[in-house]
Amino acid sequence: MIQRKIFRFGVLALIFLMPLGSFAQKGEKIQTIVIDAGHGGKDTGALGKLTTEKALNLAVALKFGNYIKENLPDVKVIYTRDKDKFVELSERAAIANRNNADVFISIHCNSTEGTTTANGAETFVMGESKNEKNLAVAKKENAAILLEDNTDAYDNFDPNSTEAYILFSLSQSLYQAQSLNIADKVQKQFAKKGRHDRGVQQAGFLVLWKTSMPSILVELGFINNAKEEEFLNSERGQTQMALALYRAFEEYKHEFESENHVSDKPKTSEKPAVVSGNSYYSVQFSTLNKKVPVTDPAFKGVKDVEVYNYKGAYRYTSGRFASKAEAEARQAQVRKLGYKDAFIIAFVNGERVSVKQAEEALKKK
């Protein structure tokens, strides 16, 4: 639990330290999801007493996809497999890339050596494994390539070699912040369903390696724990897990697509600089993929903080100014507070436009 808190803090710190404009965006809408049921065909995945990992992964994947089809008709659902079929790990990522997917979710079940009491769900994003346990999960899942005929796609990667995983620490995804965001939502939903929350973790997974979109790998539970297997093998258990995934995805989609919005009233006590209607200059000093209150302690000292959503990320601004010169004065103040990349933005009739466009539009008035 303490570890989790430290991790969370780390994530937050990471998000705040991200340079402006570093958020990779796929587009303004979440239109395509690739759902990847782990293993399949000759690759059974982990074995339980009642069933196989590949069967549980597929059952939950199909249910999850159906919830999306029923409730979010604007989303295209693509499965890497919709039956008991072997699919190479590299092909799974390629399917997502070819289809320009906005989100990739790989579904698995865990299993432990020696003990049969481990329980709960955890979600991984691509990253350096911080402990042996996470490394072991990645090794187990990556071992699927040992069943592939042609492994050229993995640059001679040996899934059993600990050294090979160092490679992964060098290939951090552009989409890591967004992947962490989705992973966090998934874990929260699992916890809501009463599942033991093992948290958001990082490790090097070949299936996530080459995806060029936010991507996560979910471990639903432990198939070698009799109680967990019974739950995951039941209609009720599969429905709960699929629903949790659906709710997390829906929440992410909603958050991502929140319309470009400028809050009506600044929430600080100070009056904003006078501007004419919805056309003004402002100073943007921070971009986050998560909405935080404008009174967040991290913004201490910044005046007239407001937030608007643009291209899927939350952008934090200071002040509304009728002239560019006033905005420049504020920019200097904000930069002194440590936001060295703070820059001037402009709105005309509530629409975010370039400063140049604003200068032209406001001159005419």
Site for Zn ion, rule CB under 5 A: 38, 45, 108, 141
Q: Which residue is at the shortest CB distance from Zn ion? A: 108
For the CB of residue 108, give the shortest distance to Zn ion in the complex, in Å. Answer: 3
Residue 245 or 313 with smaller CB distance to Zn ion: 245
46 or 96: whose CB is closer to Zn ion?
46
Instruction: Compute the least distance from the CB of residue 45 to Zn ion, in Å.
Output: 4
Q: Identify the three-state secondary structure at position 32.
A: strand
Q: How far is the CB of 286 from Zn ion (least distance, A)?
A: 38
Three-state DSSP class for residue 56 = helix
Lookup result for tokens 């929430």: 267
- Distance spanning both ends of the chain, measured CA to CA: 58
Could you tell me which residues come within 8 angstroms of residue 320 by beta carbon, excluding any fewer than 6 positions away?
266, 272, 273, 275, 280, 281, 282, 304, 306
Are 91 and 211 within 8 A, CB to CB? no
Q: Which is nearer to Zn ion, 38 or 127 (CB)?
A: 38
Dist CA 185 CA 180 (whole Å): 9
Which residues, in sequence order, are CB contacts of 278 under 8 Å at separation 6+?
Answer: 262, 347, 348, 349, 350
- Residue carrying structure tokens 């199909």: 62
Least spacing, CB of residue 238 vs Zn ion, in Å: 16
* Contact between 183 and 200 (Cβ < 8 Å): yes
CA distance 39 to 57: 8
CB of 91 to Zn ion, least distance (A): 16
Task: State the Cα angle at 39 between 150 and 205, rounded to 5°.
Answer: 75
C-beta closer to Zn ion: residue 15 or 35? 35
Query: Residue 36 or residue 304: which is nearer to Zn ion going by CB?
Result: 36
User: What is the rounded CA–CA span in Å between residue 139 and residue 135?
Assistant: 6
By beta-carbon proximity to Zn ion, the closer residue of 72 and 216 is: 216
CB of 119 to Zn ion, least distance (A): 17
309 close to 260: Cβ distance less than 8 angstroms: yes
| Closer residue to Zn ion in complex, CB, 45/221 | 45
Q: How far apart are CB 129 and Zn ion at their closest, in Å?
A: 16
Torsion of the alpha carbons at 160, 176, 341 and 347, rounded to the nearest 10: 160
- Minimum CB distance to Zn ion smaller for 112 or for 282: 112
CB of 37 to Zn ion, least distance (A): 10
